[in-house]
Structures are given as C-alpha cells and as structure tokens.
Structure 1
Amino acid sequence: MERHEELRNEIDRIDRQLMKLFEERMNITREIADYKRANNIPVLDQAREDKVIEKNVTYLKDHTLDKYAREFTKRLMELSRTRQSEALNNKVTKTC
C-alpha cells in the first residue's frame, strides 16, 4: 500500500501543477476575449483549434497517448471558448 500512496501523492503534485497552468491559460483566454471583442473576431476558429490539437500531440514522447492528448486539448479548448463567450457577454469579471 505504501507504493500506492506514493503514486497518489505524485498525482496530487501533478494536479496542483495542472491547476496552476489551467488558471494561467484561462486568464489569458479572458484577455483573448477582450481582443476578439475589440476586433470583432468570432470565438471559434476551427482551423486554429485543429492546428493546436495536432501541434500538442507532437509534444508527446509516448504516442500511445495521442488520442488522449487530442481529447484533452479539445476539451480544454471547449472550456476556453465557453470562458470567452461568457466574457464577451460580460458574464465574467476580469481577473487580477
């Protein structure tokens, strides 16, 4: 059971890092929404999203994870689009 607890602790450490990065990304998403509002740019740019997904997959060392990385990136961008849409509709307050 000791090894199991060590592995869980590693997951917890990684999750903390992920949440920090997630927060950073979502704060930038808010800034992108402001830019899109000012320049009358739509939230969704499917070509850009497709490129980001494929680019992110290339960062993997273990390509047995490709489909999971694609799905992770796709969902992350869905959340970013939702945040942008909320910001464009003034439902989100600016972050510090």
Structure 2
Amino acid sequence: MPSSFKAHLWVLRPSSRSACKEILRLKYFNEKDCSVTPLLLHKEKIIQGPNLPIPGGYIVFIVMEKVPGVPLTDFWTYDRPKRDRFREAFRKGMS
C-alpha cells in the first residue's frame, strides 16, 4: 500500500482520539491531586517524516510517571466484587 494512500486513510479516520482522551483524563486527575493515577510529565505531537509508516501523519507521545500497583488491563475479566474493590480504592484516591 503506498504511503500516500495510508496517509489519506489516517486523515479520514484518525485514531489519536484515544491519546487525546488519555491526556485530558490525566490532566483532570492531576488537577484533582488524585493519588492513584500517574502524573502527566510531558506530551508531544510530531508530524511523521517520509521514512516513517505514515508520512504526514502524526505520532503522539505521552510521558507519565510509573505508579506502584497492578496493571488493570484485565479489569473486565475480574468478577464483580473484585472490580468493585478497585472502584472503591479509586474513589478513596480521589478524595
């Protein structure tokens, strides 16, 4: 697939919405002094050059601190009581 066509598809269907949402959420929780979310250290959006996968497209970099605890990538596979314990811990971290 020619890179110009890939760039065209990228413009039609940008997938950076998730990166933008993540940045907004991190900023929100940082402003609230939430103790259970990472601190947003830096964000950067760059335009891809001719040697990158989608020339003219962009890449979003998000730099955040590493926080202790367990990853919640499998959150939705946990039973309801376990998910509720995580939710309660999050609520406590917000107050």
On whether the aligned pair clears a TM of 0.5, the verdict is no
Whose helix fraction is larger, Structure 1's or Structure 2's?
1
- The TM-score with structure 2 as length reference comes to 0.32
Bigger relative contact order, structure 1 or 2, given CA contacts below 8 A and separation 6+? 1
Greater gyration radius? 2
Whose strand fraction is larger, Structure 1's or Structure 2's?
2
